[in-house]
Amino acid sequence: MKEKERKGIFRYWPLWAMIFTGIGLLGLIVERISKTSVPFSDALNRSAGRVIRGVLATLTTWIPFSLEETLLLFSPVLLAFLVYLLLRLSKKGLSHVIRFVAGVLSCAALAYGLFAIGYEPGYYGSTLDHKLGWQKEKVSAEDLYRTGICLVEDAEATLDRITFAPDGASVMPYTFYEMNRELNKAYRATCEVCPFIQRLYANPKPVLLSVPMTYTHLSGVYTFFITGEANVNTNYPDYIVATSAAHEMAHQRGIAREDEANMMAFLVCMNSDDPYLRYCGCVDVLLSVCNSLASADSSLHGKLWSRIPAEIKKEYAAYSAFFDRYRENKAAEVTENVNNTYIEHHGQAEGTKSYGLVVDLVVAYYKEK
């Protein structure tokens, strides 16, 4: 039997490679249907997508370091090893080379298929405001001002329990891993009021090369293709680290659109019983609201800015001083272009500007309160 198989198609294309390739082809079909059907995308995101994301996140969450970063760092070694294997197999004949190449390509097909089925439908399903039952309307300058005041008041309620460094930056009162525990607890609380959010315990991972990563202007990355990890750039100021972790955890739970992941990070922080997380959520979003208001009405922006406590203004000043050393560089330009292209390809015409669309959702949030 084995001899016959070697003479047939299995000689070039092993059964496991066929299965992997089949999953990749299924992913291609799923992608096409998802782009044209909101109900299909929602159903897949709640079923097969939930299983795939949950399995990947659960399998890797107990590893204390980023497996994705490790694979990336050792990718030259892996590539060299694959080339070495290919050269050795070439001495055994063409059939061995074809079988090897088919295996490598089928692994790539599997990675794509898992992405297309497990995560991509989130881009094309119902919007977050629809799931929450909100009315997201055109936002006026007055709306932005009132929302900014609400954020200031919510942030003020936490200030007496926040510690600040001499440069004005807030200091996280616990370790990164304790922050993970608080965020997972906050996500559990959020699931009670947002049942569409996947119930999942998964720990974000600190990126070892966070300083070089900062030159790309990325504060976090969700690696949906292979490991299902939420990776966080820990070089950023503490309040950005916390909200970035919450943002990437939202991606793990099927919230694909960037503005909606930002909004979910805000909701999770606000649903936390930890004052520092609530402070982080308010201060992060408040800056986006201020920027939008500055473009819409400079007079109201000045009025809102005068209402912001000195502690928060110093937080922003410390962030600006930190970011100045990374602001202009080629790596950021390349990353921006790649990220923009990826986001536009997945149905968000605004590209990387979609991160700022969280403002519309925050306005809707405070109108519903």
Residues 139 and 218 in one domain: yes
Residues 203 and 329 in one domain: yes
- Final residue before a domain boundary, out of 100, 123, 146: 123
Residues 112 and 73 in one domain: yes
Over the chain (369 residues), the average pLDDT of each successive run of 10 is 52 88 97 96 96 95 93 94 93 89 94 95 94 85 95 98 98 97 97 93 96 95 91 98 98 93 96 98 95 92 96 97 90 65 54 56 90
Q: Identify the CA nearest to 264 among candidates 196, 348, 347.
A: 196
- The pTM of the whole model exceeds 0.85: yes
- Residue 332 pLDDT: 64
Neighbouring residues of 215: CB distance < 8 A, sequence distance ≥ 6: 326, 329, 331, 332
**Tens-place pLDDT, residues 69-84:** 999 999 999 999 999 9
Residues 359 and 257 in one domain: yes
Do 122 and 264 meet the contact criterion of CB atoms below 8 Å apart? no
- How far from chain centre, in Å, is Cα 240? 13
Q: Which sign, positive or negative, has the C-alpha torsion 309, 310, 311, 314?
A: positive
Neighbouring residues of 161: CB distance < 8 A, sequence distance ≥ 6: 275, 276
- Final residue before a domain boundary, out of 105, 123, 141: 123
Neighbouring residues of 107: CB distance < 8 A, sequence distance ≥ 6: 20
Residues 26 and 115 in one domain: yes
Residues 160 and 272 in one domain: yes
- Final residue before a domain boundary, out of 97, 123, 149: 123
Residues 135 and 103 in one domain: no
Residues 103 and 176 in one domain: no
| Angle at alpha carbon of residue 318, lines to 273 and 315, rounded to 5° | 35
Domain residues for the domain of 45 are 2-123
Question: Domains in the chain: how many in total?
Answer: 2
Q: Identify the CA nearest to 244 among candidates 225, 268, 272, 226.
A: 268
